[in-house]
A and B are shown apart, each in its own frame.
Chain A
Amino acid sequence: MSETRRLRLAPWLATLALVAVWEIGCRVFAVEEFLLPTPSASLAPLWEYAGAIWHNAVFTLWVTLLGFALAVVFGLLLGVATGASRLAYAALYPMLIGFNSIPKVAIVPILVIWSGIGAVPGVLTAFLISFFPIVVNVATGIATLEPELEDVLRSLGPRRRDILLKVGLPRAMPYFFASLKVAVTLAFVGSVISETIAGNRGIGYLMVQASSSFRTLLVFAGLLTVAAMGIGMYALFAWLEQRMTGWAFRGQQPIG
């Protein structure tokens, strides 16, 4: 089997292996279904409750992507500011670290007080949890310009805007796209947290409802749905990263 084919199959095989261990473990040790259902049993409610799961999953996806979109805009702006200006970096960085250290679970009740139950707290939590890695990556990409290149540029007497547009930003793009993959999965964490604490729709809400009536199978079906959406979005942004910044990946292409 060729190296490329093995690499392509590896994630599927690893996932299958995990599922097999889980399935066999549950059967061998006769784990009660309301504690840990087998993966095959968890697939059943995906059919049974397909309507409800679809309805709530689409809602969660929208909430997540909306929060994520805010994070991209805001993160890019803040990243460029802190990466290009040492003053902005000094002024804003401690504050950003502070914000990032606050558990987002603790913020949801405040968001609910401000905006009521619904989509808004989910969007804001997804935004708050996912913008930090974008800021840090964009700032790093811009701030780590090689000193020699900086000298070459400075001796030409350019405007700061030109350096930023022609060198700083393109240079930061691989960092930016790498952070998008991480940030989009974090955004799911944010929206689902918000829905479990204070929601009236979405996968998180569905799972809380299911668990309060001991329908463990449905809870697991919800978890699988979130995981699948996370992987899907990650794959989308990984593909986008390859397309937009292929020049940064030349070392990873198979040789020969």
Chain B
Amino acid sequence: MALIEAERVALRYGGPAGTLALEDFSLTVEPGEFVALVGPSGCGKSSFLKVVSGLHPVSAGSARLHDAPIAGPQHGIGMAFQNATLLPWRTTLENVLLPLEVSRDHRATFRRKRAEHEARAMALLRTVGLAEFRDHAPFQLSGGMQQRANLCRPLVHEPEILLLDEPFAALDAFTREELWGVLQDLWTQRRFTVLLVTHDLREAVFLADRIHAVSRRPGRIVKTRAVDLPRPRTLATTFEPAFVDIVHELRDEISRVRQA
């Protein structure tokens, strides 16, 4: 059974006369898949993440999670955005622990299970190479390190689904490619389901099992491409002809969409 099932979803902001962000948007995601949405900016990719997380109700069509309609914020979802929204008054470790402190499922037992939670957070920080920075404040970390911590935070309550909205867009090219590897490691270890929104085609091909190209607003899926490159993928993979071919194929599709 599919984990996420969107069928002919439409999403309109601000009443019946408002902007139509999504129209006729259908997408199915299986448990453990890594799915990327690519498309021109302002095409409604991020709006779909809001539908899945239950932060915005659909205007038409149906969106289902575990075969139940999505109504209101959902359990078991983690989110990370382009700007590392770490709290400046908390250390790296305290920032990663925040979801456990406030989430419906864990806040009641947070104090009692503090040691267990810290161990969990530290395991994540070790994977992304931040273990020794657990007691540093965010402003003492570089942009790349902040984004690493920002990837750990939504994973600490072990969600089924991770929603990523252009998580590496604000980073320089070297750091970005490094973090692709970090994210791939996290995913390989834990096998959560990922929905990644990006406008970086190489990023999408590097990370995803399946890529959907989205049309201009109102967003609709115009092309689906499976990526069958072997894992783990490395930077060397990005120079292989098979990788480059997929990137080109997607680029052609996106430029067609932008001109249409």
Which residues of A are interface residues toward B (Cβ below 8 A)?
146, 148-149, 151-159, 162-163, 166-167, 170-171, 173, 245, 247-248, 250
Q: Is B139 an interface position by the 8 A CB rule?
A: yes
Residues in chain B near residue A149, CB distance under 8 A = 85
Residues in chain A near residue B101, CB distance under 8 A = 162, 166
Q: Which of A151, A157, A167 contacts B79 (CB 8 A)?
A: A151
Q: Is B75 an interface position by the 8 A CB rule?
A: yes
Q: Which of A151, A163, A247 contacts B53 (CB 8 A)?
A: A151
Contact across chains for B55 and A154 when beta carbons are under 8 A apart:
yes
Contact across chains for B89 and A155 when beta carbons are under 8 A apart:
no
Contact across chains for B137 and A156 when beta carbons are under 8 A apart:
no
Q: Is B175 an interface position by the 8 A CB rule?
A: no
Name the distance in Å between B159's Cβ and chain A's nearest Cβ. Answer: 9
A162 to B157 alpha-carbon distance, docked (Å):
17
A159 to B77 alpha-carbon distance, docked (Å):
17
Interface residues of B in 66-87 (CB under 8 A from A): 73-75, 77-83, 85, 87
Name the distance in Å between A20's Cβ and chain B's nearest Cβ. Answer: 42
B102-110, B127-135, B176-184, B194-202 - the one binding chain A: B102-110
Residues in chain B near residue A162, CB distance under 8 A = 101-102, 107
A-B pair number, CB within 8 angstroms: 66
Subset of 24 A-B contacts with CB under 8 Å? A148-B81, A149-B85, A151-B55, A151-B81, A152-B79, A154-B73, A155-B54, A155-B55, A155-B73, A155-B79, A156-B73, A156-B102, A156-B103, A156-B104, A157-B104, A157-B105, A158-B102, A158-B107, A163-B102, A166-B98, A170-B87, A171-B87, A245-B89, A247-B139
Residues in chain A near residue B103, CB distance under 8 A = 156-158
Which residues of B are interface residues toward A (Cβ below 8 A)?
50, 53-55, 73-75, 77-83, 85, 87-89, 98-99, 101-105, 107, 137, 139, 153-154, 157
Contact across chains for B53 and A155 when beta carbons are under 8 A apart:
yes
A62 to B80 alpha-carbon distance, docked (Å):
51
A53 to B9 alpha-carbon distance, docked (Å):
76
A146 to B88 alpha-carbon distance, docked (Å):
13
Since A146-B85, A152-B154 are in contact, a sample of 16 more A-B pairs with Cβ atoms closer than 8 Å, ordered by chain A residue number, is A148-B81, A148-B82, A151-B50, A151-B55, A152-B81, A153-B102, A154-B55, A156-B103, A156-B157, A158-B103, A159-B107, A166-B98, A167-B87, A170-B87, A245-B89, A250-B137
A248 to B139 alpha-carbon distance, docked (Å):
10
Contact across chains for B87 and A152 when beta carbons are under 8 A apart:
no
Residues in chain B near residue A153, CB distance under 8 A = 102
Mostly, the A contact residues are: helix
A153 to B53 alpha-carbon distance, docked (Å):
11
Residues in chain B near residue A155, CB distance under 8 A = 53-55, 73-74, 77-79
Name the distance in Å between A12's Cβ and chain B's nearest Cβ. Answer: 32
A158 to B157 alpha-carbon distance, docked (Å):
13
Contact across chains for B102 and A166 when beta carbons are under 8 A apart:
yes
Contact across chains for B88 and A247 when beta carbons are under 8 A apart:
yes
Q: Which of A152, A154, A157, A248 contacts B88 (CB 8 A)?
A: A248
**For the complex of A and B, 4 pairs with smallest distance between CB atoms:** A158-B102, A157-B104, A156-B103, A149-B85
Name the distance in Å between A26's Cβ and chain B's nearest Cβ. Answer: 50
Q: Which of B88, B99, B139 contacts A156 (CB 8 A)?
A: B99
Residues in chain B near residue A166, CB distance under 8 A = 98, 101-102
Residues in chain A near residue B105, CB distance under 8 A = 157
A180 to B4 alpha-carbon distance, docked (Å):
50
Residues in chain B near residue A159, CB distance under 8 A = 102, 107
Nearest residue, chain A, Cβ from B74: A155
Residues in chain A near residue B137, CB distance under 8 A = 247, 250
